[in-house]
Every structure is written in structure tokens, then in C-alpha cells.
């Protein structure tokens, strides 16, 4: 006959001062009433002695719970039959291997589709994702107009995000120079990021010189037709140079900066952009006024509703 021992007193000091032994609903449910008296000292038993003790006096689980609970801890998990294996296999992709792709230097890759698509996100945001690509000379006001546009969209309850050329070069593109090939790579990366924002249903505003037509066309080709809105900030070189907000034209004229757009590197104006914002003569529009021209285009073409 086994005499039940009274549960040990709670630990009152050290790491285990808040640990108490005693009855537990979980213990009763699992049929482990006989284990209630095990205190923290039992945790220091070696695995070998613990297993030997458990197998010599197996603790019976309650009805319909299987064999000895402690025995179950050390049994390998096995499928009941082939149908279980089949069920597990079909729960994850890969049973019927799809055709893998090679893209650039990336080999054996697979595009993974998600049931939540762009239209679902647009419905959630009540707007249509697109890319508004602001292009123009340094000092033409691209960043200022981008901020005014984003502020105007925000006031209408529309979600936008600005990808500013200089800001991106502080992080993602900090490894790129201003050589022609690096400038092309800079535009390509920003185009890919802008594509992701548009796919998320966000109105993405890019603000960068992007001087070469072929690079802008390549970014346009990344998006569905109509989702790339090219905005040319048409400001004469002499006006931009007179503004010279960063002092870069002065450095370029002094020969301290090489390959500066408009001075010793060309800028190719867009051939067929969606919007042209001009600042010529004495009738210069404010950034807010220019932003409203873009807003009007978005409203007329259904971008501000799902």
C-alpha cells in the first residue's frame, strides 16, 4: 500500500521562490495525480534514472488517452497508415514539382502566388496602386512637388509613399556611383521597388533625375499598362542653375563634379509622358498648384477609388 505524501512547502528563496507544488487541473486531467508530490528537486534527476523509474512504475493515463504517458514521451512519432502520409504531403506544395525558373544570375527559383492579390489590397485602401514618376533636372523642384503631392493625397485619405533619389542612395543604393552604368542600375532598383509599392495598392511617387529615356521606359515596362505615370518637371537649365539648392551646379562648373546632368552629362526629356509641369517665365506655379494638376489626373483616371 502506497501512502501519499503531503505536498512539500513552496520554495521561499532563490530562483524557485515562487514555484509551488500541489494539485493542478492540468495534472488531474492528464491522470497524473501521483506526480503532484514531485518537487523541484526532481528536476535534477538524470535522464537515465528518470526513465528507469518511469518504466518500472508506469503511470496509467486516463481512459481513451493511450498507453503510459511517460512511455509516449520516448516513442518515435509514426504515421498511422499511408493515408496519413498522403494527407501531410498534400498539405504543402512540392509534391508535384513545378517548373523552376532562371532569372539573371538567380537559378532554380519559383514565383509563389498568394491568394490575396492587388485588387484585394486596392479594395481595402479604396485606391489604385500606381507609380508617379517625377523626372527633371536637378533643382527643378521634383522633391518639393513630391512632398506637396503626398500631402495632398494624405489629406484625401489616400496612402502614398515617396522614393526620393537622394534618400534611396543613403541606403539601398549607397553602393552606386554616378557613372552612367550605375545611374542605370540606380533607376532599375528604384523601378523594382516602386513596382512592389504599386502592387501593394500604394500610390508610389518617385523623385529622381532619371536622365535616360531607356531607363525610364524599362521601369514603365515593369508595370501593367496605365500604372506608370511619367511626370516631366520642365524647368529650363538656367532656372535650375540659378536656384542651385545644393550648390552642385557651382561645383560642376568648377570641374569638381564630373558627369553632372545638364552640364557635362545629357538629360533626355520624355518623349510621351502623361503629364508635363512647366515653370517658365514669370508665371511659375507653386508646388501645391502643380501637385493639384497631378491629383486631377489621378481623379479623372480612377486612381483615387477602388
Element (H, E) at 292: helix 287-300
**Catalytic-labelled residue, pool 150, 210, 272, 296:** 210
Q: Which three cell numbers stand for residue 270?
A: 520624355
For residue 158, give Cα distances in angstroms to 20, 143, 208, 290, 292: 56, 19, 22, 18, 14
What does the alpha-carbon distance between residue 97 and residue 46 come to, in Å, rounded to a whole number? 46
Query: Residues 181, 265: contact at Cβ < 8 Å?
Result: no
Residues 6+ apart with CB under 8 A from 180: 212, 259, 265
Q: Is 210 a catalytic residue?
A: yes
**Per-position DSSP letters for 22-67, written without gaps between them:** S--HHHHHHT-GGGTT--GGGGGS-HHHHHHHHHHSPPPPPTTS-S
Tell me if 32 sits within 8 A of 1, measured CB to CB. Answer: no
Catalytic residues: 210
Amino acid at each position: 500500500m502506497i501512502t501519499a505524501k503531503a505536498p512539500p512547502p513552496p520554495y521561499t528563496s532563490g530562483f524557485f521562490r515562487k514555484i509551488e507544488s500541489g494539485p493542478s487541473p492540468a495534472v488531474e486531467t492528464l491522470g497524473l495525480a501521483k506526480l503532484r508530490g514531485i518537487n523541484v528537486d526532481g528536476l535534477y534527476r538524470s535522464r537515465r534514472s528518470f526513465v528507469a523509474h518511469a518504466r518500472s512504475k508506469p503511470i496509467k493515463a486516463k481512459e481513451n488517452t493511450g498507453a503510459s504517458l511517460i512511455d509516449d514521451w520516448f516513442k518515435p512519432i509514426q504515421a498511422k497508415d499511408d493515408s496519413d502520409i498522403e494527407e501531410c504531403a498534400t498539405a504543402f506544395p512540392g509534391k508535384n514539382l513545378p517548373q523552376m525558373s532562371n532569372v539573371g544570375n538567380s537559378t532554380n527559383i519559383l514565383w509563389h502566388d498568394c491568394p490575396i492579390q492587388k485588387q484585394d489590397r486596392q479594395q481595402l485602401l479604396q485606391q489604385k496602386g500606381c507609380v508617379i514618376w517625377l523626372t527633371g533636372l536637378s533643382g527643378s523642384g521634383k522633391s518639393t512637388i513630391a512632398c506637396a503631392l503626398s500631402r495632398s493625397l494624405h489629406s484625401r485619405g489616400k496612402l502614398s509613399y515617396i522614393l526620393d533619389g537622394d534618400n534611396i542612395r543613403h541606403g539601398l543604393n549607397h553602393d552606386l556611383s554616378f557613372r552612367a552604368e550605375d545611374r542605370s542600375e540606380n533607376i532599375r532598383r528604384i523601378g523594382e521597388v516602386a513596382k512592389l509599392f504599386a502592387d501593394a495598392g500604394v500610390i508610389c511617387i518617385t523623385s529622381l533625375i532619371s536622365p535616360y529615356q531607356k531607363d525610364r521606359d524599362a521601369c514603365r515596362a515593369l508595370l501593367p499598362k496605365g500604372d506608370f505615370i511619367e511626370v516631366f518637371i520642365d524647368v529650363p537649365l538656367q532656372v535650375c542653375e540659378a536656384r542651385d539648392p545644393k550648390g552642385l551646379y557651382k561645383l560642376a562648373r568648377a570641374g569638381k563634379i564630373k558627369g553632372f546632368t545638364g552640364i557635362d552629362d545629357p538629360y533626355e526629356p520624355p518623349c510621351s509622358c502623361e503629364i508635363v509641369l512647366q515653370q517658365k517665365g514669370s508665371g511659375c506655379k507653386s508646388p501645391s498648384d502643380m501637385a493639384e494638376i497631378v491629383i486631377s489626373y489621378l481623379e479623372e483616371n480612377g486612381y483615387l477609388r477602388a
